[in-house]
Structure 1
Amino acid sequence: MTAVDLPAVPRVLIAEADPWSQDLLKQVLLAVRCDARLDVCADGQQAATLLRDKPYDLILADWELPVIDGLDLLRAVRQQRRTPPLPFILLSSRNDSASVREALPLAPTAYLTKPLNMQALTQRLQDLLLNEGESVYCEVPALAPGMTLPGFLEQRREASDGAPLRVDVQAAVQHSLGPDGLDLKRLEEQVRTDPQITAVLIAAANSAGHHGAPVQTLHAALHTLAPGQSMNLILGLALKHNVVLGDPVLAAYAERYWQLSQDTADYALLLAHLLELDRERCYSAGILHQLGDLALLRSLEDWRRGGGELDDKAIGESLDTFGAAFGSSLRARWRLPLELRQLIAASYSLEGGVYARDALAVNLAAQMARLTEHEGLEALADGKTARLLKIGLSELTRIRKRPVG
């Protein structure tokens, strides 16, 4: 089938069990055809039901689907003997010749192995969904009549895509590629300051496709995921809308929250080193603790682009009212490990009468990060957290002056 056979707005079915791979496929497809109507499912039985109920113009399905696998799904589609054949891209982690020979008689439009080659996938989608030289532009949808800012944010709280990106992901990946492929150590150095990348990779490493102890740090996430998968997830984030804030006021707010996250993470790292705690875990909690406020700013950009009015007062009130709720919703929806979520929560307050030392360290780090340059450390040294950790003014002073490296 060629692009001219397609309707004005193509309908595409994505069948993929892993939620982060689902999201990546959606972003790549929408980057090619932002107007496409997408149906997404997690197993072959759901896909077969959708195929009976709706006409599709393209299917992307993983071979390793539960219930009915992608190869059987392709077999059922080919038995319908549609003319021309329905385009079907089969995705698989199997790259052996026997698997390829098994799939080829069913004439998949493409057989792409995981981790996906993003350039190859994009080119295939362009060939199938666009005429040569064609591109599709989608306007930002206007706000619904009568929509208020609190009502809009309440809706977005459960559907937020997370924070804007702090790091230029294309440059980060490019700097991490060497003659032997992706250098994970270099990639970690490039992206460890970005809360969104950190959260997504940790969440993906804890998804259904990976087993073992909960992953709570960026370092562990990069070594749990395949290098190609990590690279694809990071590059996929750049395809999402509003990953770079266009409003200078919102961008300035984001810069302040990024710096607060970075300072908290750096202090947590130094305190953990001093107290012989898990440094990377404490760093992760610090870098992630403002994720909700940053995600809220990204939603405010959507509000502004949809025609909503925005001023400093509205931004401040929105952050005070919804920032924490956005963070809690994201951490739960992305299924970040409970232990990490509890450590992040410790940056705001300590609950209960018995405190873990890493929670105390993160709490103290957050307090240090919130101090202005003109405020001294005496009150912190006399405070409950420092006393429980048995850290005095001299130690806090050294930590405040010491660069992280």
Structure 2
Amino acid sequence: MTVVDLPAVPRVLIAEADPWSRDLLEQVLLHVRCDARLDLCADGRQALELLSEHPYDLVIADWELPGVDGLGLLRSVRQRRRNPVLPFILMSSRNDSASVREVLPLAPTAYLTKPLNMEGLTQRLQDLLLSAGQTVSCDVPALAPGMTLSTFLERRRELADGAPLLTDVQLAVKRSLNPNGLDLKLLEEEVRTDPQITAVLIAAANSASQHLGDTVQTVSQALHRLGTGQSMNLILGLALKRSANLSDPCLADYAERYWKLSLHTAEYGRTLARLLDLDQERCYCAGMLHRLGDLALLRCLQEWIQAGGALDKLEEVGEALAEFGAAYGSALRTRWRLPLELRELIAAVYQLGGGVYSREALVMNLAAQLARLTEHEGVEELAKSRTARLLKIGLPELMRLRKS
């Protein structure tokens, strides 16, 4: 099939079981053709049903699909003898010669091994979906008539893409590269202070497709489970999403304040954990993630502005954060299936429930109280608090923490 055979608006089927890889493919494709009509599915049987219902211009499928695998899907497509041939990109973690020989008779348009080479994938998609020199621009969808901010935010709550990026991911990856490839330790240092990257890496490392034992609860654990290629792809993919970076100065200022509060809570949590011989990195991640909902809400407020909505920066932003911030955080942590143990530490940042508390939960509660102190407030009252007494952290230790 040549490029000129493509319709003005191509329809593409993406069949990928892992939700994070599926989302990454969606973002890369929309980056190339923002106007494309996409159908996404997680298993081969559903892909076959969609293929029988719609005429597609491109199929992207993973070999390791449940139900009917990607090779079976490709075989079914080729048996239909469509003219011209339907472009089909098959992906797999198999790079052995036997697998390649098995695929070649079915004539895939491309056989890509995982982790994907993002530049190579982008070039393939451009060749398939764009004419030479063609560019496609898409306007942000306008708001429905009569849409109110409250209704907009309520509808976006279960669909929000998370927090805006506070890290230049292109620069972070570039600085972590060396002649031998990506250095995960350097990459960790670059991205560990970004709440969105922290949450996505941990969520992706715990997805069903990984199924590799213990729960991942820190950035370091996530990077090592995902590996260099997948980690880099996920991080770079985040930058392709709409509103990944806040351009509105007022919203960016709010984000900066919430990020600093998250960072201070994380640092206090790590220092207290080290002092008490507890898991420092779990406490650090819990602190970094506790304002994820507020940051996600700010990103949605920017989407509201870009879609043509009006916003009183001084009043409505604060009201929206108060009304929706906590709900956005809860929805994201649940939808992304962040580990329960980590979510319990995040909850402890806000308050301690009834019953028995872990020492790490107490650490996070105390860390949050320290982070919220203004520069004019002392730690004397905090030293008398129930949390400090349970941890046996006295005034001298708190004063040293405050000065560090």
Task: State the TM-score, normalized to the length of structure 1.
Answer: 0.98
Contact 1:261/1:287 (<8 A) preserved? yes
Distance in 2 separating the partners of 1:157 and 1:34: 23
Matches within 5 A, 1:344-355: 344-355=346-357
Structure 1 residues not aligned, in runs of 5+? none
Alpha carbons 1:360, 1:389 under 8 Å: kept? yes
Q: Which residue of 2 aligns with 1:28?
A: 28
Deviations 1:229-288 (A, max 9, x none): 000000000100101111100000000000000000000000000011000000000000
Match of 2:45 in 1: 45
Identify the residue that residue 390 of structure 1 maps to in structure 2. Answer: 392
Residue number in structure 1 paired with 2:217? 216
> Which residue of structure 1 lines up, in the alignment, with residue 263 of structure 2?
262
Which position in structure 2 is the counterpart of 1:59?
A: 59
Within the alignment, does 1:149 sit opposite 2:149 as a pair?
yes
Matched, 1:318 2:315: no
Partner of 2:280: 279
Alignment of 1:160-171 (within 5 A): 160-171=160-171
Q: Which amino acid aligns with 1:273?
A: R
Question: 2:291: which partner in 1?
Answer: 290
Aligned length: 402
Unaligned 5+ runs, structure 2: none
Q: How does 1:179-218 map to 2 (within 5 A)?
A: 179-211=179-211, 212-218=213-219
CA distance in 1, matches of 2:225, 2:147: 43
Q: CA deviation at 1:179?
A: 1.4
Does 2:344 match 1:359?
A: no
CA distance in 1: counterparts of 2:251 and 2:207, whole angstroms: 32
Once superposed, which parts of structure 1, at least 4 consecutive aligned residues long, lie more than 3 Å away? none
Matches of 1:376 and 1:307, distance apart in 2: 45
| Deviation, structure 1 residue 358 | 0.2
- Secondary structure of 1:225's aligned partner: helix
* RMSD of aligned residue pairs (Cα, Å): 0.7
Matched, 1:299 2:300: yes
Counterpart amino acid of 2:25?
Answer: L
1:248 aligns with 2:253: no
Tell me by how many angstroms 1:3 deviates: 2.1
Q: For residues 90-147 of structure 1, give each alpha carbon's deviation from its aligned partner in whole angstroms, at most 9, with x where no partner exists.
A: 0000001111111011000000000000000000000000011111100011111111
Look up the match of 1:127.
127
Question: Which string of whole-angstrom CA distances, capped at 9 and with x for unpartnered residues, describes residues 189-229 of structure 1?
Answer: 00000000000000000001122111111011011112100
Q: Report the equivalent of 1:101.
A: 101
* 1:15-65 Cα distance to aligned partner (Å, 9 max, x none): 000000000000000000001110000010000000001110000000010
The one-letter code sitting in structure 1 at the alignment partner of 2:124 is R
CA offset at residue 6 of structure 1?
A: 1.0
1:308-353 CA-to-partner distances (Å, cap 9, x unmatched) read 1112210000000000000000000000011111111100000013
Distance 2:172 2:399 in 1: 34
Counterpart of 1:6?
6
Contact preservation (8 Å) 1:2, 1:127: no
* Matched residue, 2:333: 331
